[in-house]
């Protein structure tokens, strides 16, 4: 079973897994940890936190007030931690341009003190399976040239993902140290 792509729900749960935070801090952490992603609008952060609280995945852990307005601090619940764990374990459907989702899952796994290696191994296997399917499709003597070219395109992108996964596996210790896990 494949997961849905990166969602604000999963990112916020992953950021809350290490400690309770308020919405402003979650937005800032997201924008810092995932610079290639579109910055999160504050409204989206707070709307998502409201849905997460409604669904029992987070709870209000208190309020804080510095020199500015009062800020509500949220904490992940056990149910939220289980939902995050399920999402982190699900491999992505092998497709071109998947790197952002894979990178997000790896960083969040490390931030939540999980191992990224099992996910990378499972994702690698999913990519290899998809490459075998595409190779079989393009090897069919009756395959239209448009299908062969589309399969070639996908295979080459999947191969690039595989090389990226291998490089990432070799750099996990450095990434782990960088995210403070």
More confident residue, 17 or 146: 17
Find the helix or strand (DSSP H, E) in which 8 lies.
helix 8-16
User: What's the pLDDT at 96?
Assistant: 61
**pLDDT value at 135 more than 50:** yes
Helix 117-139 × helix 99-111 angle, to 10°: 160
pTM value?
Answer: 0.65
Side by side, the strands of the sheet bearing 58-64 are 21-22, 71-76, 58-64
**pLDDT value at 2 more than 50:** no
Find the helix or strand (DSSP H, E) in which 75 lies.
strand 71-76
> What integer best gives the mean pLDDT of the chain?
89
In this prediction, residue 4 has a pLDDT band, given cuts at 50, 70 and 90, of very low
| Residues contacting residue 158 through CB under 8 Å, at least 6 positions apart | 94, 96, 127, 130, 131, 134
pLDDT digits (tens, 9 = 90+) for 78-119: 999 999 999 998 887 776 665 678 888 999 999 999 999 999
Residues 162-174: what's their mean pLDDT?
A: 94
Q: Report d(CA 87, CA 68) in Å as an integer.
A: 35
Distances in Å between the Cα of 78 and the Cα atoms of 17, 61, 151 are 10, 14, 43
pLDDT digits (tens, 9 = 90+) for 10-42: 999 999 999 999 999 999 988 888 766 788 999
């Amino acid at each position: 079973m494949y997961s849905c792509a990166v969602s604000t729900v999963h990112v916020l749960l992953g950021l809350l897994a290490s400690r309770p935070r308020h919405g402003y801090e979650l937005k800032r952490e997201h924008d810092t940890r995932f610079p290639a992603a579109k910055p999160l609008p504050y409204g989206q952060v707070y709307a998502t936190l409201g849905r997460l609280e409604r669904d029992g995945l987070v709870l209000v852990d208190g309020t804080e007030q510095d020199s500015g307005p009062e800020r509500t601090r949220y904490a992940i619940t056990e149910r939220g931690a289980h939902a995050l764990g399920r999402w982190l374990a699900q491999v992505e459907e092998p497709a071109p341009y998947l790197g952002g989702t894979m990178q997000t899952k790896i960083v969040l796994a490390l931030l939540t003190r999980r191992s990224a290696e099992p996910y990378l191994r499972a994702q690698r296997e999913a990519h290899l399976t998809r490459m075998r399917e595409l190779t079989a499709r393009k090897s069919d003597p009756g395959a239209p040239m448009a299908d062969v070219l589309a399969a070639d395109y996908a295979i080459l992108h999947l191969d690039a993902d595989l090389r990226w996964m291998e490089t990432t596996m070799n750099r996990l210790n450095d990434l782990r140290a960088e995210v403070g896990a």
